[in-house]
Amino acid sequence: MRVLLVEDEARLADQLADTLRGAGYAVDATRDGEEGWFLGDTEPYDAVVLDLGLPSLDGISILRKWRSAGRAMPVIILTARGAWSDKVTGLDAGADDYLAKPFQPEELLARLRALIRRSSGVATPEIACDGVVLDTKTAKVTVDGRPVMLTSHEFKVLSYLMHHKGRVVPRTELTEHVYAQDFDRDSNTIEVFIGRLRRKLGVDIIKTVRGLGYIVEEPG
Q: For each of the chain's 220 residues, which pLDDT tens digit applies? A: 899 999 999 999 999 999 999 998 999 999 999 999 999 999 999 999 999 989 889 999 999 999 999 999 999 999 876 667 778 888 899 999 999 888 999 999 999 999 998 888 887 889 999 899 999 989 999 999 999 999 998 999 999 999 999 999 999 899 988 887 766 666 678 899 999 999 999 988 999 999 899 999 876 6
Name the nearest CA neighbour of 29 among 51, 56, 57, 58: 51
Residue type at position 149? M
Total length of the chain: 220
Contact present, 169 and 214 (Cβ < 8 Å): yes
Q: Distance between CA 172 and CA 158 in Å, rounded?
A: 15
Domain ranges of the chain: 2-119, 126-216
Q: Distance between CA 104 and CA 21 in Å, rounded?
A: 16
- State residue 82's pLDDT score: 64
pTM of the complete model:
0.85
- State residue 183's pLDDT score: 62
Which CATH code is given to the segment(s) 126-216?
1.10.10.10
- State residue 124's pLDDT score: 83
Contact present, 113 and 137 (Cβ < 8 Å): yes
2-119 homologous superfamily: Response regulator (3.40.50.2300)
Contact present, 19 and 43 (Cβ < 8 Å): no
Q: What is the DSSP letter of 58?
A: -
Instruction: Characterize 106-130 residue by residue with b for buried, 16 or more Cβ atoms within 10 angstroms of its Cβ, and e for exposed.
Output: eebbebbbbbbbeebebeeeebebe
